[in-house]
Amino acid sequence: MCAALCWMLQGWLPPFWALLGAFLAVIRLGTFSYWANSYWGGTVAALGGALVLGSLPRIKRYQHVRDVLLMGVGLALLANSRPYEGLFFSIPIIFALLAWIIRQREHRLLKTLRKVALPLVITLCATAAAMLYYFWRVTGSPFHTPYLINLATYNPVPFFPWESIKPWPGYHHSVMQRFYSGWSLKVYLTARNYPFLSAIVKMEMFSFFFLGPLFMLPFVMLGFVLPREFSFKDVARKTRFFLLIACVTMFAILLPVFANPHYAAPLVCVIYALLVTALQRIRHWRCRGKPTGPAIVRSVPTVAIVLLLFSAAAPALHIQNGPKPETRCFYCSELLSRAQIQAQLEHLPGGQLVLVHYSPKHSPMEGWVYNRADIDRSKVVWANDMGPQNQELIEYFKDRKVWLVEPDTSPAKISPYANTPQERTADATY
């Protein structure tokens, strides 16, 4: 992702500033954020956004098929990671590309269509065909996505605040019911009753995750650096294009009820392009005749490196709350106990079946039950404890050793599963 970001910035900015922008992203997003160690993050969508936006100036300059294919790959990544946000992110870029093609002179138009439009259309058609085939094999219909079926099955809370709540389904597990009737419903009611407050909270979350106080400083300094007579007409054309993409995409992101930092992942390349542009402008600032701008520009990466080193050294120095970039924005625990149990069971002979028994106070935000795509061939299979109904699952996995996990004890407890409470009491803790 960070390498693609550097490549994208090189298409719009001088090489030094492109490298600086990517370096700041490495420190901010590539180290302590949940993007660095979780597939739940936004790296794939951010990679796609960088490929799409970075291809545009190269296509205009060189008309190489390679750059067109990279744009197609970027659009494919967006369609398969953040399709809603990726669509709005791509609209200004596609329109800019179409406008450039239309303005081509007649003797160059056929060449442009052959080297630019045709490869892009072929790439997008292949992507659409692959996605429709995948949907058909998973859901039985090429027009029914797994995500939408999941929402229709479990989530009655609508995606947008102007929609009404659907009838509540019957849940097999109380923890799922508490999730949808708790946090999910609360977020929906907040967005519906207090839309401006909801938008402010989302904007604050995005700004602190992608920039933080340190990287927001250059934007604040523009209020002192720009002359009083400065107007929007004085903004460079490429900067106005970045702002257009950011406004269109953020408008789309603020509409739905739910929001997480990775929802805005396609905008990473635009955010850091604007950050670097602000640093470029500040670099020429002189306060009372002194070159103040270069000192401010140098201080931003310097302080970022210092924070990074402190954060990396904090565990070794036994500092519990050492200085750390506030990039996590992750309200769930890392479930290290689950990872330890998984590792223990992986080393046992034969297959293992784990039944998870939550306490009534268990947080629905911390789910222990999830499995590999091919469940039957997985070494360890996780399932919710359903009391007497467990027997059907146990008979299906009759060749597996069955365990009972209680994640809400301290530490988390795992013991051989027994069918009756008396047998469970007699079993020794594993």
Domain assignment of residue 236, yes or no:
yes
403 shares its domain with 267: no
Q: Examine the domain organization and report whether 399 and 252 are in the same domain.
A: no
370-379 contacts, C-beta under 8 A, 24 or more apart: 378/351, 379/345, 379/346, 379/351, 379/352
* Same structural domain, 139 and 43: yes
Per-residue pLDDT tens for 226-256?
A: 988 899 889 999 999 999 999 999 999 999 9
Buried b (16+ CB within 10 A) or exposed e, 387-426: eeebeebeeebeebebbbbbbeeeebbbeebeeeeeeeee
Which three-class secondary structure state does DSSP give residue 413?
A: strand
- Answer yes or no: is 310 within a domain: no
Both 293 and 347 in one domain: the answer is no
For residue range 322-338, what is the model confidence (pLDDT) as tens digits?
A: 444 445 555 556 688 99
Is residue 81 within 8 A of residue 145, CB to CB? The reply is no
Say yes or no: 267 and 409 in one domain.
no
Same domain, 65 and 213: yes
Q: Is residue 314 part of a domain?
A: no
Bridge pairing between strands 401-406 and 413-416:
antiparallel
- Whether 245 and 290 map to the same domain: the answer is yes
pLDDT at site 418: 83
Phi-psi region of 350 (alpha: psi -120 to 50; beta: other; left: phi over 0): left
Whether 200 maps to a domain, the answer reads yes
Question: Cα-flanking dihedrals φ and ψ of residue 397, to 5°?
Answer: -105, 55
Q: Mark whether 108 and 240 lie in a shared domain.
A: yes
Cβ–Cβ < 8 Å for 131, 80? yes
Judge whether 324 lies within some domain. no
Tokens of 371: 């499995």
- Whether 239 is covered by a domain: the verdict is yes
- 271 with 363, same domain: the answer is no
Domain count within the chain: 2
Among residues 289, 305, 321, the one where a domain terminates is: 305
User: What local confidence, expressed as pLDDT, does residue 176 receive?
Assistant: 87
Task: Give me the pLDDT at residue 319, please.
Answer: 72
The dihedrals phi and psi of 164, each to the nearest 5 degrees, come to -95, 155
Domain encompassing residue 358? 336-426
Query: Quick one: 15 and 140 in the same domain?
Result: yes
41 lies in the same domain as 103: yes
Residue 326 domain-assigned (yes or no): no
Q: Is 37 left (phi over 0), alpha (psi -120 to 50) or beta?
A: alpha
Q: Are 42 and 33 in contact (CB under 8 A)?
A: no
Give the pLDDT score at 422.
43
In a domain, 244, yes or no: yes
| pLDDT < 70 positions in the chain | 320-334, 419-430
User: DSSP assignment, residue 95?
Assistant: H
Please state, in angstroms and rounded to a whole number, the distance separating the CA atoms of residues 383 and 240.
51
Closest by Cα among 420, 422, 385, 381 to 404: 385
- pTM assigned to the model: 0.88
Contact criterion met (CB below 8 Å) for 45 and 249: no
> Among candidates 88, 63, 60, 65, which has minimal Cα distance to 75?
88
Task: Output b/e per residue, 144-171; b: 16+ Cβ within 10 A.
Answer: ebeeeeeeeeebbbbeebeeeeeeeeee
Please indicate, yes or no, whether residues 274 and 397 belong to a single structural domain of this protein. no
